[in-house]
Amino acid sequence: MFRLTVISTIAALGAFSAAEGKALLNIAKKSEWTPEPCEELEPGKPCAKLYEHPQGSTTVMPCPVESHTNADGCAALFGGKGDGEQCPQITCPKALGVTMKLVCTGGCCPTCWAPDHVIGLDRHKALENPAVVDPAPQAPTTCGGVRCFEPVCAEGQKKGHVEGDCCYSCVPGR
């Protein structure tokens, strides 16, 4: 109801048609998103928290240590580097009219991100591709829905399965 009222009000002011008002409202909604609270995510879905720049600065610094999935790896990456040199100094682009935001998702440095419901991501689930082959019969049960491709192996290699993998890969030939 609120949405329809806003669109009607914008249109009534004569500034925009109802369709233009609706488009403006959609753009506004797409810039106001925040990641879902981590405690509300289904198990296995990565947690994303908005990155906060140091007060009064636009310098991109490392994500909080408690959010790192591999704190030792981050410490090695940052070793000997000064503030502002540890992470790439990035700003997030607009994609399909939506500004992505810097988030910390377990890595050492923030990355640009937006949830799938904000920027529609084409995961090619319906794509019919003649190069797609079935997963290896030995694949773990967690490989449901995976899309595999026939490996093209170099000389001395052959198609084979590596335990724990979903798809065949190239392994040393005999």
Number of residues that this document lists for the chain: 174
pLDDT given at position 32: 76
Burial class (CB in 10 A: 0-12, 13-18, 19+), 165: middle
Spatial separation of the C-alpha atoms in residues 155 and 140, rounded to whole Å = 28
Measure the CA angle with vertex 101, ends 30 and 69; round to 5°: 130
Residues in the chain predicted with pLDDT less than 50, given as ranges, are: 1-13, 16, 21, 23-25, 27-28
Beta bridge partners of 98: 95
Q: Is the pTM of this model over 0.85?
A: no
pLDDT digits (tens, 9 = 90+) for 90-106: 988 887 777 789 999 98
Gap between the Cα atoms of 12 and 10, Å rounded: 5
Longest distance between any two alpha carbons in the chain, whole Å: 77
